[in-house]
Amino acid sequence: MDLQNEKCVMVIDENLPLGIIANTAAIMGITMGKQMPEVVGADVYDRTGNEHLGIIKFPVPILKGKGEAIKTIRKRLYEPEFSDLTVVDFSDLAQGCKTYDEFIRKMKDVSETELNYLGLAICGPKKKVNKLTGSMALMR
C-alpha cells in the first residue's frame, strides 16, 4: 500500500450523543483493521521492555456530517467509480442489535434505503476519498 496516496477517514453523524459517536468510531475502526491488517504497525516496546500493541501507521481524521449527508455519501460509494474504496458502514439497525445473529436476521429484511447511517469509514486513493469528504469539517 502506497501510504502517500492513500487516505482513511471516518464520517460520523455530529448529532449523535458522545457515547454513540465513540462507539461508532470504535466499531468501524475494528472492522477496518480486519479488512486492512497491513496498515497496523508492528508491536513496540518502551525503554522498560513493556510491550505496546501496534497501532495504525497513519492518521484517521474523524469528520462530522449530518445523517442525510452521510446517507448520500454511502449511496455514492455503491457507484462503480468508488468500487476500489474500502468502506465500513454502521447503521442504526446495527447499533440497536444485542447480538450479531440478530443483526444478520434483521439486515435480511431491510432495504438499504431504510437504513440510517451513524457513520462511515472510507479508505482508498486520496483523490477519491477527498472527492467524497473533502469539504467536511473535523469533529471536535
Query: Is 15 part of any domain?
Result: yes
CA distances for 77 relative to 44, 70, 114, angstroms? 36, 11, 17
Q: Is 36 domain-assigned?
A: yes
Return mean pLDDT, the chain: 95
Q: Specify whether the backbone of 124 is left (phi greater than 0), alpha (psi in -120 to 50) or beta.
A: left
Phi, psi angles (nearest 5°) of residue 106: -70, -35
CATH number of the domain to which 50 belongs: 3.40.1490.10
All cell numbers assigned to 76: 455514492
pLDDT above 90 (res 114): yes
What is the residue range of 120's domain?
6-133
Give the count of domains, the chain. 1
What is this structure's pTM? 0.92
pLDDT score of 34: 94
Distance of CA 72 to the CA centre of its chain: 15
